[in-house]
Structure 1
Amino acid sequence: PTYFIAGNNGTALVDEILNGFGWRRIREKNDELFKLKWSELKASIDYNNFREGEQLVNHIPNCEILTNKQGLLNSLQEYGKINAANHKQPVKLDFFPETYKVDDPKDKEKFLATYKEDDIWICKPTGRNQGKGIFLIWNSEECYKAVTQDNSPNPTRFRPLNRIIQRYISNPLLINNRKFDIRCYMLIASTSPYVILYHKGYIRLSMYNYDKNSDNMLTHLTNQYIQKKDPKYGERKEDTVWSMDKFNDYANRNFAESKNVGRNWVYNGLTEKMKSIIMVCFNSVKNKLQRRLGYFELYGMDFLVDENMKVWLIEINMNPSYTINCGALKDVIPGLLKETLDIAIECFEKGRRRKPLLPLNSRQNYEVLY
């Protein structure tokens, strides 16, 4: 079998894995005879010429209803309304911070009516990741600027970026006085039929002590893309990513009693909550995602816990970083990618033969959710 890889994110790892399967890499980008295409961007995939049941591609064509910040907001809001209208058990969407679409005049008005002088808000472009274009709003002057400015880097060349404004969670749970978040994963291994899996991932920490009034974005944004810009990153990088086991040990020592969550809260409480939120997100789009045998996708899910132990979903990434900057990432990323490809290929081959997809023989660290 042949495969084609486009982009730079995780390319060497994916190449090594597929080569290890005995597959052959093709390098001509217009060659549509591949069996599997792994690309950083959806734009590299020609969905019109996709051959269902013969090919695999690692992006679902309309995945932005999950991964675009505005798309996710719309999907969750619509799902909540539909459930309420059908008199079903109301879906709790209180895991998503209060959010407004800056480019929607009604939403902008609602935000301005809500805004109070001492509030902290965060403004984000809707279709970007790695913390690009994000800034905090501390006062009414910045608030006015955020809702009125044309946020494009060069208005003649770029259309303005759509933006959302989100209530900033200014009371995060801290580890050694530093802010952290959790990057776990949702894998849609097959869309026809659906197979959804969860991977526990790792946690990401800021290098600096948290201060909600600090104008250093490194105290507020924990991802590696932002952290590695700091000159001290080289000497501190091993402490910017922890395994979930290390986090669980820390939580047992520091939170089990003081926060009254008991031992192994990371796996018993936090993980269960994250999995239930992932399922709400999936259910909000499962009837809308385009479904063909051979579509699969791995999403980076970013969660935050506040000091009251409430779990928040921050965002869903369609192209999560597979960069390996430190030991904890080396322990997670290569295995994650190999198991992702193993499972996607297994689902595909079983689907072609109309065999039941479960149980999955290649599953090791993933957990089946659906």
Structure 2
Amino acid sequence: MVTSLFWFLSLLYKSNNSYFSTHSSSSPQFPLGRRAACDIYWHGVSFHDNENIVSGQVNKFPGMVEMLRKINLSRAMRTMQELFPEEYDFYPRSWILPEEYQQFSAQIRMVKERDTTVSPTFIVKPDGGSQGDGIYLIRDPSDLKLTVGAQPKQAVVQEYIHKPLLIDKLKFDIRLYVLIKSLEPLEIYIAKEGLTRFCTEPYQEPTQKNLSHVFMHLTNYSLNVHSGNFVHSDSQSTGSKRTLSSVLYRLAAKGVDIKRVWSDIIALVIKSVIAVVPELKLHYQADIPPGKPGPTCFQILGFDILLMKNLKPVLLEVNSNPSMRIEHEQEVAPGVSEYVPSPVDEHVKVGVIRDTLRLMDPFNKKPTVNMISHSTQPLL
């Protein structure tokens, strides 16, 4: 089973526009489209080709990419924070740029006037950015980069999370994989195993002098992998990328209530999904109107979560197309690189793909999976 899944994943990387049939022994690719019906269609990046797919299941929801862009996610979270402030306190306070620049500037002025010794830090994230691209820290509105050429730059500026939980004096985040199996009823599966991605410089509270130290403040793997301190490890419990279970085991050994941590993380995931479901349903019904022949959809999401020193989880962002690579690039000679297996990625991601396919089994066999399931009544 594992061997065939490794092959399935290697095919997935070759083309972002490939389709796969779960009951085809050769799992053929159709970069120009397919004519034969399949039980499961695997889109590389986003939902498309809905005119030709009249049955089966597709691994993307229409509109998911748009809904999880940083601005739209922030808007959805803000709506829920206004309605249920205590329930949605896991998402950092955010402002949308450039339209809320004046509100942001006024807020900073008010904070500094109230206490001249306070100098809050903020993190700026481009709306369409990924893999840490374009993220930077500021302490004053004048440091914002509001344009690209002559065009306004769409971005979200958020309160920087102080007092993160550290391990080995390093800041880290959690990449948790979440399967949305259906929208109505809303059915969510959360993988019990995930990744932890570590910074590569010992953490210090942000100051004006160290704001540009991305290897200290930003946990993005795509940034830290270029650090000279990044450690590729064959062990699941050491190095710059580790399994979530190894980190939780280490915390449990120090007396941390891991059940409580998991409970808080699960609540964060469920509430986050609930926040985007109403808009997501509108996209779904626009592409696949009720009564019109079409596929059902499911999707794997990547939740990026930070644990604070008090063990409270904070949502950093949600990735609609999390990487399923199970290898990393490594320099084997000066100027010569090759891809080598990453045991940690293999352990986590192969399990996610395997259990997703079992859960979406078109023949309705009872799956044996390593995911936690959650269902709710329809929201709309």
Flag the 1:58–1:248 CA change in 2: closer, same or farther, 3 A. same
SS in 1 for 2:311: coil
The residue that corresponds to 2:241 in the other structure is: 241
- Equivalent in the alignment of 1:122: 123
Q: Distance in 1 between matches of 2:343 and 2:279?
A: 39
User: What is the deviation of 1:189?
Assistant: 1.6
Structure 2 equivalent of residue 204 of structure 1: 197
**Aligned-residue CA RMSD (Å):** 3.2
- 1:195-218, Cα deviation, whole Å (9 max, x unpaired): 211113121111221123333211
In the alignment, residue 319 of structure 2 is paired with which amino acid? N
Aligned to 1:108: 101
> TM-score under structure 2 normalisation?
0.76
8 A Cα contact 1:207 1:236, kept in partner? no
The question of 1:216 aligning with 2:213 is answered: yes
Q: Once the two structures are superposed, what CA deviation does each residue of 1:30-59 show, in whole Å capped at 9, x if it has no partner?
A: 33545233233216x2234431xx132221
Counterpart for residue 263 of structure 2? 272
Amino acid at match of 1:328: V
**Aligned 8 A contact 1:300 1:317 in 2:** yes
> Is the alpha carbon distance of 1:37 and 1:199 closer, same or farther for their aligned partners in structure 2, counting shifts above 3 Å?
same
The one of 91, 100, 114 equivalent to 1:96 is 91
For these two proteins, the number of residue pairs brought into alignment is 325
SS at match of 2:366: coil
CA contact under 8 A between 1:26 and 1:34: conserved in structure 2?
no
Question: Counterpart of 1:72 in 2: which secondary structure?
Answer: helix
Q: Give the conservation status (yes or no) of the 8 Å contact 1:170–1:212.
A: yes
TM value normalised by structure 1: 0.77
Paired residue for 2:159, among 156, 162, 167? Answer: 167
Find the aligned partners of 1:212 and 1:285 in 2 and give their Cα distance.
33
Q: Secondary structure of 1:144's partner?
A: helix
Whether contact under 8 Å (2:73, 2:276) holds in the other structure is no
The partner residue of 2:142 within 138, 141, 144 is 144
Alpha carbons of 1:234 and 1:20: their partners in 2 closer, same or farther (altered >3 Å)?
Answer: farther
Residues 1:218 and 1:335: Cα distance change in structure 2 (over 3 Å) = same
Equivalent residue for 2:80?
Answer: 79
CA distance in 1, matches of 2:299, 2:152: 28
Equivalent residue, structure 1, for 2:333: none
Residue 45 of structure 2 is aligned with which of 33, 41, 44? 41
**Aligned-partner SS, 1:209:** coil
Distance in 2 (CA, whole Å) between partners of 1:170 and 1:221 is: 12
CA contact (8 A) 2:71 2:156 kept: yes
How far off its partner does 1:187 sit? 0.6
Structure 2 unaligned residues grouped into runs of 5+: 1-8, 113-117, 289-294, 329-341, 376-380
Give the AA of the match of 1:74.
Answer: R
Identity level (%): 23
| 1:332 Cα deviation from its structure 2 partner | 0.6
Secondary structure at the residue paired with 2:182? Answer: strand
Q: How do 1:218-233 and structure 2 match up within 5 A? A: 218-233=215-230
CA–CA distance in structure 2, aligned partners of residues 132 and 65 of structure 1? 18
CA gap 1:26/1:244 in 2 versus in 1, 3 angstroms: closer
Distance 1:50 1:20 in 2: 17
User: Could you say which residue in structure 1 is the equivalent of 2:323?
Assistant: 321
Within 1, Cα distance between the matches of 2:213 and 2:304?
A: 21
Per the alignment, in what secondary structure is the counterpart of residue 180 of structure 1? strand
Task: Give the structure 1 partner of residue 367 of structure 2.
Answer: 362
Is the CA contact (8 Å cut-off) linking 2:125 and 2:136 kept in structure 1?
yes
CA offsets 1:255-286 (integer angstroms, 9 cap, x no match): x2xxxx4xxx23x0111111111111122233
- Maintained 8 Å contact 1:13/1:334: no
Residues 173-231 of structure 1, C-alpha deviation per residue, up to 9 Å, x if partnerless? 10010001111121112335432111131211112211233332112222321121123
Alignment of 1:30 with 2:30, yes or no, is: no
